[in-house]
Structure formats: C-alpha cells, structure tokens
Amino acid sequence: MSQYVFQQLINGLSLGSLYALVAIGFSMIYGIVRLINFAHGDLVMIGAFSTLGFVAMGVPWPLILVFVLMIGALAGMTIEATIFRPMRGAQQVTGFIATLAVSIVIQNVGLMTLSGQPRNFSFPAFMRQRVQLGSVSASVTDLSIIGLTLLLIALLLVVVYRTRLGTAMRATADNLMAARLMGIAVNRTILFAFAIGSGLAAVAGLMWGGKFGQIDPLLGFAPGLKAFIACVIGGVGSIGGAMLGGYLLGLAEVLFVGLLPPAFSGYRDVFVFTMLIIILLLKPSGLFVRHVEERA
Amino acid sequence: MLEVRDLHVTRGATEVLKGISLEVLEGETAALIGANGAGKSTTLLTLSGLLRAKSGTVRFEGASGSIDLTKLAAERIVGEGLVQCPEGRQIFHSLSVEENLSMGGYLRRDRASLGSSIEEVHALFPILKERAKAAGGTLSGGEQMMLAIGRALLARPRLLLLDEPSLGLAPQMIERIFDVIETLKKRGTTILLVEQNAAMALDIADRAYVLENGRITLSGSGRELADNDRVRQAYLGIAS
C-alpha cells in the first residue's frame, strides 16, 4: 500500500473515531429519551476548552483525560436534570427545540466569555511525531485517537451490556413504562446515559483540538451535525450503528477528498450528503438496524 | 393488605376514577372486572405510582409497614412489594429472556437467593430456561406472557397486580396462564387480577369488584358475582 493511500486511511479512521465517539452519545440519548439532542456537539467544545484550561494549569495529560470526561459527564447531567427532564412529558418537538436553545446558549456564553478568536491547541511534542510501520508511517496523534476511541468503545460496551446499571439503561430505552414497573428509577438511568454520552463527546473535544490544532466556541456545530448524520446512517438508537456510521462517515469524507482529483475536494460535503440521501432512500431505518419499532 | 379509599384519578380533562374503594386481604385473589374504558388499567397504574391520584388514599401493608402509596415514587412502590405485570405484557423486546428476568429482580439486594428464585420461575415456565438467550421480542405471545409473569415474580411481590393476562392469547394459552395464577394463589401469593374475561376471573377470585364508568357498582365474592343476574347479562354473556 502506498504511503498516500495509507495516510488517507489513517486520517479517515481518526476522523471517524471522533464522529463515532460523538455519535454514540447522541444515539444513546436518543435511544433512551427519544430526544434529538442538538446541544450534544457543544459538549465537544466544552471538552476542548476544558482541556486547554487544564493544560494551562499544568495538569498532566492522563489526568486531563479523566477530568475532561468528568466535566463532560457533569455538564450533560446538569443539562438533562435542569432543562430536558422538566419537558419529558411534552411533545417531541418541544424537546427538540429546547436542545437547539441549549446549543445556542452554550455557544454564545462561549463567545462572550472565551471570545470568538480561535485558540491554538497542541498536544505534547511526542504526539506530533510519526511512527514508521514498515514502508508506511502514521502520526502518533492519529494512532492515539484511534486506539483510545476503540478502548473507550470497548469499555462502554462492557458497561452497557455486562453491568446491572447498563442493562437497566437498555431496559429503560426499550420500554420506559415497564422499566418503571420493575422498580428501575428511570430518571437515574437517563441521567447515566447523558453522563456517558456527554463524557465521550467531551473526550472527543480533547481529541478534536489535538487533531486540528485550533479551537473556537462554535466548533461543536460540525461534530454535532456529523454525529447526527452518522446515527442516521447507522440507525438511530443503536450503539453499534452509531459507531459504524461514524467510521463510515469519517472514511468517506477523507477518501472522497483524498482519492479524487483535487478539483473535487470542495465538493466533500456534497458527496457526504448525497451518500446520506442514497442510504436513506435504500434503507430508511439505517444500514445496521434490522427493524425499527415505532413507539408513540 | 391493600385498602383503597375514595380514589379519584383524572387523565387529561376526564375524571376516569370517580371515587373507588376496594380492598384485598392477605392471601386473597381479588378480581376487578369491567368493560373497556371503565378505568381498570387506570386503577392499576395509579396503585403502581405511574399515575397520580387527585384524591383518596391507598393503604398498603408493605415491606416497611403500613404506608400510603399515593405519594410514593414508582420504584419505592415496587420496593414495598406491590408489583405489576402490565397490560400487553410490556416485556423488554431487545433484552434477552435472561436479562428480562434479571430486571424483575432489579431492586433485590439478595443477589445470592436471586439465582434460586430464577430457578423457581424456570420450574414454573420451563420454556424460559430453554430460550434464556433469545431476545424477548422473538417470543410468541404466550411465551411473552409467561416472561412477563416470571419477571414480576422475581420482584418478590407481596401483592401481584395482573392486568389482563388473557389479552390476545389463544384459548389454550389462557387456560395455561390461569393454571399458573391458580398455582400462585395456592402458594399464598396475594393477587389483584384485572380481566375482561369475567368468567375465568370470577371463577378464580375470592373477592370481586365490578367497575363501571369509574365507579365500583358491585362487589362480593367471586361466586356471588358470577351468580348475579346483571353480571351474567353484562359480562358473562348469559341471558337470564
């Protein structure tokens, strides 16, 4: 494999990792409360700026990772408990509009307090080195993003499929009323889903900053939207679908640009959205979901 | 065990329960019969804390003594030992049979004896053991009903609420489910059974109530109601 193709592949996988991390949380939240959460991308921004803050304070990187995860989780839980929970009984569109409002509030508070000026963001020097793998090489940053993402996803799957709380969360997503009748405190499992999803998004923010080198208070918009698309591609509400959708989207974006003549590179989003439309026409419930259960 | 006094419940603008009173004694099987829309499910959902009463009291001899359920959170009510097997089964379709059962025991702290409780449920419904790994949604209607009952039993009910267990099942399966209810009754489980299938419900019930338009219009032993002319006409389809 030529270095060029390999580089594109690694690029696609690392971008896909970011999309997958954000998409998984998006999907978990939709799965449990049927809420299209457009504020989810802004947790990426919160994660990126928290990282910057911790770096300025001289916190070591492994601790920063843990702290950012916790800050994301706390932010997500706060939003859920104060804004989304009181709207639970309302129509779906009410919740949807509320998430847009939350997103605008977060972005504007960010602009006011942090200024709209992009800030430089850099990982430690060794992260910017390249590793030689036979005839090809890849950056430590990209490899770390891919590796850490896979590790986090593995941990998530263990929590969701092997623990009592994870099972209760799936039960709540499956049938809220039955979950309540079994004595599951559903507000707690919903809070838990928000904590996990938002924590993952914040970690994606840390990675986002390291990968692109600059952050600003509006950076959450793109990953939020892409996560939504990844979920739709994969099948909304399924963790595996969101993950695969994220990787597919990341790879598609990078490969469209990288493997086609440079004249087409400006059409990147056109290709991506055309792909989305075609997938939705052929498989409306997403690529990786066998059936969709309608729920009132 | 359970004493409902003057319970009023509104859903939206409609008053669905207009002051009902009923009681279930320990070890008894009580039946609540009535037509569609009479308020049967509303009654059970209020007992379980999923709907809130506008007024009235629900006194229950729970795990922590005699308490009023009308202000208690749904998960606390299950913890006190009032467990509902809801209408339409409502099993977790995407969870395995095994996981469905484990969710029944969600609040139990005695992890050790949970295993033997699951074995008891398996003994009652062997099919649930055979299909332990299958997704709940792949089960037939009758099997889903067994799973729903098994799941409720794992919560160790002091009082088991059964909402329309015969709904949508083949006659043979209804027979089977009522056999199980009979077994549970013999084991001393206190049961409140809501049914449209009045004949079978009255047959098994020690005590029965007729609910019409949100009011209890008749009550007595199962036998008395089964012999009552109005009940025979309206609910048992027997002309007098």
pLDDT by residue (tens digit) across B166-222? 999 999 999 999 999 999 999 999 999 999 889 899 999 999 999 999 999 999 998
Chain B, window 146-175: residues with a beta carbon less than 8 angstroms from a chain A beta carbon = 151, 155
What pLDDT does residue A296 have?
A: 35
Please give the Cα distance from A257 to A67 (Å, whole number). Answer: 35
Average pLDDT over residues A272-287: 85
What pLDDT does residue A156 have?
A: 96
Q: Percentage of chain A with pLDDT > 70?
A: 97
**Reported ipTM exceeds the 0.85 cut:** yes
Q: Domain range holding B208? A: 24-51+80-234
Instruction: Report the residue of chain B nearest A171, measured CA to CA.
Output: B92
- Work out the minimum CA distance from B232 to partner chain A, whole angstroms: 34
Residues B183/B188/B192/B195 CA torsion (nearest 10 deg) = 20
Kindly indicate the confidence band of residue A238, based on its pLDDT and cuts at 50, 70 and 90: confident
Q: How many domains does chain B have?
A: 1
pLDDT at B89 over 80: yes
pLDDT at A1 over 80: no
The contacts found for A128-134 with CB under 8 angstroms, 24 or more apart, are none
Average pLDDT over residues A141-163: 96
pLDDT at A201 over 60: yes
Instruction: Report the residue of chain A nearest B107, measured CA to CA.
Output: A183
pLDDT at A288 over 80: no
Closest listed residue to residue B160, CA positions, set B126, B200, B141, B187: B187
B106: contact with A, CB 8 A cutoff: yes
What pLDDT does residue A273 have?
A: 83
Average pLDDT over residues B70-80: 95
pLDDT at A66 over 50: yes
Count CB atoms within 10 A of the CB of residue B175. Answer: 12
Would you call B92 and A168 a contact, using CB atoms and an 8 Å cutoff?
A: no
In a domain, B104, yes or no: yes
Q: Which position has the higher pLDDT, A88 or B75? A: B75
Would you call A178 and B90 a contact, using CB atoms and an 8 Å cutoff?
A: yes
pLDDT at A245 over 80: yes
What is the residue type of A264?
A: F
Q: How far are the Cα atoms of A249, A251, B33 from residue A268, in angstroms, in the given order? A: 11, 12, 64
Pairing between β-strand B159-163 and β-strand B190-195 as defined by DSSP bridges:
parallel
Upper half-sphere CA count for residue B217 (Cβ side, 13 Å): 14
Boundaries of every domain in chain A = 22-218
Would you call B106 and A184 a contact, using CB atoms and an 8 Å cutoff?
A: yes
Chain A, window 185-244: residues with a beta carbon less than 8 angstroms from a chain B beta carbon = 185
In a domain, B178, yes or no: yes
Count CB atoms within 10 A of the CB of residue A269. Answer: 12
Please give the Cα distance from A196 to A192 (Å, whole number). Answer: 6
What pLDDT does residue A295 have?
A: 40
What pLDDT does residue A140 have?
A: 94
In a domain, B8, yes or no: no
Largest CA distance in chain B: 56
Q: Which position has the higher pLDDT, B82 or A137? A: B82
In a domain, B63, yes or no: no
What is the residue type of A45?
A: M
Give me the residue from A167, A185, A293 closest to B95, CB to CB: A167
Please give the Cα distance from A178 to B185 (Å, whole number). Answer: 24
User: Mutation test of the interface with chain B: which of A181, A190, A290, A294, choosing the one with the most B Cβ atoms within 10 A?
Assistant: A181
Task: Give A-chain residues touching B83 at CB under 8 angstroms.
Answer: 181
- Work out the minimum CA distance from A251 to partner chain B, whole angstroms: 30
Where does chain B have alpha helices with state H? 40-47, 74-80, 97-104, 111-124, 126-130, 141-154, 171-186, 198-204, 222-227, 229-234
Would you call A164 and B73 a contact, using CB atoms and an 8 Å cutoff?
A: no
- Buried residues in A44-64 as b, exposed as e (16+ CB within 10 A): bbbbbbbbbebbeeebeeeeb
Please give the Cα distance from A18 to A47 (Å, whole number). Answer: 13
Can you give the CATH number for the domain in which B217 is found? 3.40.50.300
Give me the residue from B79, B94, B102 closest to A183, CB to CB: B79
Would you call A168 and B95 a contact, using CB atoms and an 8 Å cutoff?
A: no
Would you call A183 and B151 a contact, using CB atoms and an 8 Å cutoff?
A: no
Q: How far are the Cα atoms of A124, A187, B72, B90 from residue A179, in angstroms, in the given order? A: 46, 11, 16, 9
pLDDT at A293 over 60: no
Q: Percentage of chain B with pLDDT > 90?
A: 85
